[in-house]
Amino acid sequence: MSTPILRLEHVTKRFRGLVATNDVSFAVPEGSICSLIGPNGAGKSTIFNLVTGYLAPSEGHIFFGKTRIDGTPTTQLARAGIARCFQIAKPFADLSVRENVRIGALFGRDGARDIAAVTDDALALTGLSDLAGRPAGDMTVGYLRRLELARAIAARPVLLLADEPCAGLNATETEDIVTILRLVRDRGVSVLLVEHDMQAVMRVSDQIFVLDAGALIAAGPPEAIAGDPRVIAAYLGTEAVE
């Protein structure tokens, strides 16, 4: 097996008394889509914050490829090829859609590129080409999610972290996002997804990691996760019963 693109080793994060992440270890194989699931407050966003350098782990280590990255500043990680879509979409509201995406192209991962071409490509991939001139502040939730993805794609990541990109979207919009994530993966980008929409997660994921109260309680391909009694108890419980 080749080196995974992302690996967490016994990562623990405490906020004063609260253990938000408890001895979590998992690995995202290169070129895959993996999902991190779990009930509200399970610690999913905290893991994203740890991987993207907004937080440093209390214990344990994080590796991006072969490089240890826990505690590395966010900017540096972005330049190394980690991009992230936030759970709460944060567009630059005063700028146009295109200008938003262009900032991803101007910065993002180090290396030569054609700014205009990268911007256009990211807009096209996310179906935003026709809205490029609109102010980002005027967009509906569905399009804001795409914009968030477009900006991250324009940053030319090696690893894309998407925090609930389908939250608040209807079935068609969710389908569009899933399609975009697959297209991104097909280009060789590894994806780590946090998502509550189980349908989407089951269809799109190569591997699923289940968190509950900060701890990893299960990991495996979708079929295995769907049938895992611990997962059903912790997370799928209500849905499985109905």
Partner 1 sequence: MSIVLLIVAAAVPFMVMPFYVRVGQLILLSAALGLAWTLLGGFAGYWSFGHAAFIGLGAFSAGLFETELMKGQPLLGFGLGLIVGGVVCALAAAVVAWPILRLRGIYFAVAMLGVSQVLAELTNNVDVFKGSMGLVLPRIAAFGLRPEALFYDVLLIATVVVGCIAFAIKNGRIGAGLMAIREDEDTARMLGVPTERYKIMMFILSAALTGALGVIYAHSLGYITTSSVYRTEFSLNMIVYNLLGGMGTLVGPFLGSAVMVILTQVVLGRLLSIHMFITGALLVLLVLAAPKGIIGLFKGGLFGGRAKG
Where do contacts with partner 1 occur on this chain (CB under 8 A)?
52, 54, 73-75, 78-79, 83-84, 86, 90, 92-95, 99, 102-104, 106-109, 137-138, 151, 155
Given the complex with ligand ATP, which of 55 and 123 has the nearer CB atom? 55
Dihedral sign (CA 134, 136, 138, 144): positive
- Taking CB under 6 A as the rule, which mask of x and - marks residues 19-48 in contact with ligand ATP? -x-----------------x-xxxxxxx--
For residue 47, which of 82, 13, 81, 16 has the smallest C-alpha distance?
A: 13
**Residue 43 binds which of Mg ion, ligand ATP, partner 1, none (CB < 5-8 A, kind-dependent):** ligand ATP
- Taking CB under 6 A as the rule, which mask of x and - marks residues 71-90 in contact with ligand ATP? ----------------x---
Given the complex with ligand ATP, which of 18 and 124 has the nearer CB atom? 18
CB 143 within 8 A of CB 127: no
Among 21, 22, 35, 45, binds Mg ion (CB under 5 A): 45
Closest CB 143 distance from partner 1, rounded Å: 16
Residues 6+ apart with CB under 8 A from 14: 20, 58
Q: Cα separation of 153 and 158, whole Å?
A: 10
CB 200 within 8 A of CB 37: no
Distance, first Cα to last Cα, the chain: 40
User: Contact positions toward ligand ATP, by CB under 6 A?
Assistant: 15, 18, 20, 38, 40-46, 87
